[in-house]
Amino acid sequence: MWLADNWQEYEVLDTSGGEKLERWGEYLLVRPDPQVIWNTPKRNPGWDRPHGHYHRSSRGGGQWEDFGLPQKWQIHYRDLTFHLQPFQFKHTGLFPEQAVNWDWFGEKIRQASRPVKVLNLFAYTGGATLAAAAAGASVTHVDASKGMVGWAKENAAASNLADRPVRWLVDDCVKFVEREIRRGNRYDGIIMDPPSYGRGPKGEIWKIEEKIHPFIQLCTKILSEDPLFFLVNSYTTGLQPAVLSYLIHTELTGKFGGQVAAEEIGLPVSENGLVLPCGASGRWER
């Protein structure tokens, strides 16, 4: 398992009864987590005094219970700064487990000793975009949500990266890649974090089980002649590491050589030293 264990301002304090207790800077949150199927004693005192608690509804969705949580606040990872806020579907605007991938491709970019162009697809609030830009890459950031792209720009400005070569695009990822093929644009690194289900700006439907393989095939057509890396993240139960490995190996190694690795990604739990699984990632590299 690949662990995101270099955080200073974030940690999973404890897990039990379908929920996790987290520290986001100076604030404690309790949020549901489908992986937490155990019901162990809640020993951490933070369970009794969180600043925010997200409660799921039996009718779907849910709502935050506020105990002094601000509307917005910040946390940092290395030199990066992220704006956070509690919003729909329990999220805060950041997936801390992805830091293990930021460190991986950031190091590859820094060691490349050449200009590196990176494409970040389904780019959300820009964690991967900021990590790639901070490492020295020029980045194209694509997400279908105008609000998320705006949020990512705010994170870039807060991280003193507003002047870095980043293109911020509100677009359907599949249609964007198709246009890039026609335009002849190429990238040295591709990052994708596709949702299990989603809709594009014009109602385009995305179902990951149906779309992920042809989309990976499509993306190989915009890799440069000497690509550096390819990263696919998944939070979908059916896309286990072995599935990601198979997909990436099938589409990339025959064309570019290199090697493929895929693992679960996770966060250490401070209370017991165990690991909370948080999805899977598949990586190709030279």
Domain boundaries, the chain: 2-84, 96-285
Q: What are 97-115's pLDDT values in tens digits?
A: 999 999 999 999 999 999 9
Look up the CATH number of domain 96-285.
Answer: 3.40.50.150
Q: What is the pLDDT of residue 150?
A: 98
* 9-42 pLDDT tens trace: 999 999 999 999 999 999 999 999 999 999 999 9
Cβ-contact 64, 54 below 8 angstroms: yes
pTM to 2 decimals?
0.94
pLDDT at 89 over 90: no
* Residue indicated by tokens 């198709």: 178
pLDDT tens-digit profile of 178-195? 999 999 999 999 999 998
DSSP per-residue letters across 145-178? -HHHHHHHHHHHHHTT-TTS-EEEEES-HHHHHH
CA distance 232 to 140: 16
3-state secondary structure of 84: strand
Please determine, looking at this structure, whether the domain spanning 2-84 carries the CATH number 2.60.40.1180. yes
Long-range CB pairs of 75-79 (<8 Å, 24+ gap) are 75/9, 75/10, 75/24, 75/25, 76/8, 76/9, 77/6, 77/7, 77/8, 77/9, 77/10, 77/102, 78/6, 78/134, 79/134, 79/159, 79/160
